Amino acid sequence: MENHHVTKLEISLSALKHNYHYLKNKTKPGTKTLAVVKAFAYGLEPVNIAKTLEKEGVDYFGVAYADEGIKLRENGIKTPILVLHAQVSNYDLLIKHNLEPNIYSLYTLKQFIAFAKENHLEDYPIHLKFNSGLNRLGFNIDEVEELIQLVQHNKNIKIVSAFSHIAASEDLNEKEFTEKQISTFNSIITVLRSKLKHHFVVHMSNTSGVINYPNAHFDMVRLGIGLYGFGNDTEETAKLKNVASLKSVISQIRTVKKGDSISYNMAFTAQKEEKIAIIPIGHADGFSRPLGCGNGYVTIHGQKAYTSGNICMDMILVNVTNIDCKEGDEVVIFNNQQTVEEFATICHTISYEILTAISQRIKKTFI
Ligand SMILES: *Cc1c(COP(=O)(O)O)cnc(C)c1O
């Protein structure tokens, strides 16, 4: 169904391409890239983003769950897709859509091997994930022996990559911890290489790993937030281009008198006559409640209009007393990375959550 919503997210595919090449150029020639397009490509739009990156020559896509991979396949994406949090109950779907599971435990490995055997699969590509310190998904180092015994002579599956994930790649205060993770992973890889005689791809770095840890680039890097314009500090972010701009329009303007309360629960009372604009974006769209009561703002004709009172589910109220504007005028929620970072700080979160919280009902357009 076509989306007629007036609040829209403009996505710059040329900025996306710039960011992809900027990050790829930080790796040595021949290093492969996996573009992470999970969670609707971080709240933006996965299909056009994946199509654009596929044309730029990305080697792999990464999604979190099967459905996300299926959506890409149904829209014609041919590049291999790694399902980072593959579920045992979805193995049949993965096979059907030519998606490659992350196998991260002895349990998932045994389940997948049994499934592959039952379905007479041959050399089905799988990826092994190792825990090097994040303590999230992954085999522990002491499980490597048993793992090797299970896979060594198995013809139903084929290990195409081995990977790990860094806990604090963006934080140079944790350099010692990260270097330890890298060396733990290196020793796992050494054992794997000695036992598995065929070639497999090794990968560990997310965006910040690409920026901070060249010794963790290995054969492939996994690019997420950087593609969408955010580095690990303001300096790196400045070298990336802004991909997403969120815009809306003024639905109504009203004047309130001194003593009138504004929005739900009388959280704000006007101290003088004020002009209030109502904008069709709310907390259900990702404009989070901590941005209410004057903490957050939108931009109208280049001027900041701060929120007035509580954020509602479908709309916000902003103070436009000193802004020359009328109903129907354009409203910019954000059109640069700094504003997103600022909103993230106000909401005690990170840019990732501000982007992924952008609701699906917001219209996506491409420039
Ligand atoms: C989400 C994710 C990434 C991407 O991380 P960014 O910090 O967004 O670059 C990479 N690897 C794994 C395993 C992930 O879950």
Question: Does ligand 1 lie within 6 Å of residue 223's CB atom?
Answer: yes
Measured in angstroms, how far is the CA atom of residue 272 from the centroid of ligand 1?
49
Q: CA-CA distance, 279 to 311, in Å (whole number)? A: 10
The best mutation among 68, 102, 222 to test binding of ligand 1, ranked by most ligand atoms within 8 Å of the C-beta, falls on 222
Measured in angstroms, how far is the CA atom of residue 254 from the centroid of ligand 1?
45
**Count, residues in the chain:** 367
Question: Does ligand 1 lie within 6 Å of residue 317's CB atom?
Answer: no
Radius of gyration (Cα) for the chain, nearest Å?
A: 24
pLDDT in tens, the chain (367 residues): 889 999 999 999 999 999 999 999 999 999 999 999 999 999 999 999 999 999 999 999 999 999 999 999 999 999 999 999 999 999 999 999 999 999 999 999 999 999 999 999 999 999 999 999 999 999 999 999 999 999 999 999 999 999 999 999 999 999 999 999 999 999 999 999 999 989 999 999 999 999 999 999 999 999 999 999 999 999 999 999 999 999 999 999 999 999 999 999 999 999 999 999 999 999 999 999 999 999 999 999 999 999 999 999 999 999 999 999 999 999 999 999 999 999 999 999 999 999 999 999 999 999 9
Question: Does ligand 1 lie within 6 Å of residue 207's CB atom?
Answer: yes
Residue 340: strand, helix, or coil: helix
Q: Which of 243, 225, 242, 245 has its CA nearest to residue 23?
A: 225
Residues designated as active site:
38, 264
* Residue range(s) of every CATH 2.40.37.10 domain in the chain: 244-366
φ/ψ of residue 30, rounded to 5: 95, -15
pLDDT at 1: 80
Question: Does ligand 1 lie within 6 Å of residue 165's CB atom?
Answer: yes
* CB hemisphere CA count around 217 (13 angstroms): 17
pLDDT at 197: 86
Q: CA-CA distance, 161 to 151, in Å (whole number)? A: 13
Which residues, other chains included, contact 75 with Cβ-Cβ below 8 Å and sequence gap of 6+? 47, 50, 51
Question: Does ligand 1 lie within 6 Å of residue 11's CB atom?
Answer: no
What is the DSSP-derived secondary structure letter of residue 188? H
244-366 has which CATH code? 2.40.37.10
pLDDT at 87: 98
CA distances from 101 to 88, 109, 195, 215, 359 (A): 9, 10, 21, 26, 27
Amino acid at position 258, single letter: K
The best mutation among 84, 134, 161, 211 to test binding of ligand 1, ranked by most ligand atoms within 8 Å of the C-beta, falls on 84
Residue 227 CA, closest ligand 1 atom number:
9
Residue 207 CA, closest ligand 1 atom number:
9
- Ligand 1 atom 4: residue of nearest CA: 224
pLDDT at 38: 98
13-239 has which CATH code? 3.20.20.10
* Residue range(s) of every CATH 3.20.20.10 domain in the chain: 13-239
